[in-house]
């Protein structure tokens, strides 16, 4: 749930950028309000499920698992939804895969 808030946050930021750069007034379109509603629901759900996990399990287990999933799914969400990896060359793909695969040992030593 938390990684969706990153995608919605970037969407809202880009809509605001369009509005304030005077390209188009995004406040007249419902997509902005849908994104705001979705980010609110996402953040509330993320906090609720994190609190439930901390209620039933040790924080030394929950917090690293939460962070690992949050970072990994945020990276994948940006790569898929925003197509951030479409123009990667071989070196960029190598570094991307290397760094994302190193997240697991860093989060779970």
According to the model, what pLDDT value does residue 87 have? 93
Task: Count other Cβ atoms within 10 Å, centred on residue 42.
Answer: 19
User: Of 83, 63, 60, 59, which Cα lies nearest the Cα of 71?
Assistant: 63
Residue 46's pLDDT is 94
* Model pLDDT, residue 94: 95
Q: What are phi and psi of 56, to 5 degrees?
A: -100, -15
Which of the pair, 108 or 34, is modelled with greater confidence? 34
**Cα–Cα nearest to 65, from 96, 104, 35, 98:** 104
pLDDT of amino acid 102:
78
Q: Considering the chain, what is the average pLDDT of its residues?
A: 89
Whole-model pTM? Answer: 0.79
Residue indicated by tokens 């390209």: 23
């Amino acid at each position: 749930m938390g990684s969706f808030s990153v995608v919605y946050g970037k969407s809202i930021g880009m809509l605001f950028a369009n509005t304030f750069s005077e390209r188009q007034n995004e406040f007249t379109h419902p997509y902005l309000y849908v994104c705001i509603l979705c980010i609110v629901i996402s953040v509330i759900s993320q906090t609720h499920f994190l609190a439930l996990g901390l209620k039933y399990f040790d924080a030394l287990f929950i917090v690293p698992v939460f962070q690992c999933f949050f970072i990994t799914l945020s990276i994948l969400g940006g790569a898929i939804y925003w197509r951030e990896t479409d123009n990667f060359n071989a070196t960029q793909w190598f570094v991307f895969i290397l760094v994302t695969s190193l997240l697991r040992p860093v989060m779970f030593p």
